[in-house]
């Protein structure tokens, strides 16, 4: 029997998702270091991914926790995409059986584009790269909020 998530607190492997209607970015990170790396974007149709692709990613990386970015308006209010991201988070829990938390993701897409452009110019700004970089930023902000990284 595996350790409960609370006893592993601070040492968990965490997978993050940047929800989108056409593409969902994914990243994997470690609480211990507070860092994350992009994985691959999962194609979605109107916000619904191929769940087999999601389960394959989860099975491959065996995370202890899943984090979904919550796209809030700048004033903190919710929008239609926020509700859809929450629905995705609920389905993610139902599909994987893993605990799922949400993380405020305001400005992550802009920050991801800025970082990717700085690293490789316009050719680095593909939709999948942006979604994965956003997922990395969502995870790193989650870690910062949890333990002050």
pLDDT 10s digits, 16-71: 999 989 999 999 999 989 989 999 899 999 999 999 999 999 999 999 999 999 98
Q: CB neighbours of 62 closer than 8 A, spacing ≥ 6?
A: 13
User: Is-contact 26 40, C-beta < 8 A?
Assistant: yes
Q: Count helices and strands (H / E) in the chain.
A: 4, 7
Tokens of 43: 């194609």
Domains contained in the chain, CATH given: 13-147 (3.30.420.140)
pTM higher than 0.75: yes
């Amino acid at each position: 029997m595996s350790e409960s998530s609370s006893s592993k607190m601070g040492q968990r492997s965490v997978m993050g998702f940047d929800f989108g209607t056409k593409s969902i970015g994914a990243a994997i990170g470690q609480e211990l270091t507070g860092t994350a790396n992009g994985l691959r974007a999962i194609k979605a149709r109107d916000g619904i991914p191929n769940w087999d692709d999601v389960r394959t990613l989860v099975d491959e990386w065996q995370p202890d926790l899943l984090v979904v970015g919550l796209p809030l308006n700048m004033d903190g209010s919710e929008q239609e995409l926020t509700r859809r991201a929450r629905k995705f988070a609920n389905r993610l829990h139902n599909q994987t059986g893993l605990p799922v938390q949400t993380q405020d993701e305001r400005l992550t897409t802009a920050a991801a584009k800025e970082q990717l452009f700085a690293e490789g110019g316009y050719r680095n700004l593909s939709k999948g790269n942006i979604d994965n970089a956003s997922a990395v930023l969502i995870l790193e902000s989650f870690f910062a909020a949890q333990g002050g990284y």
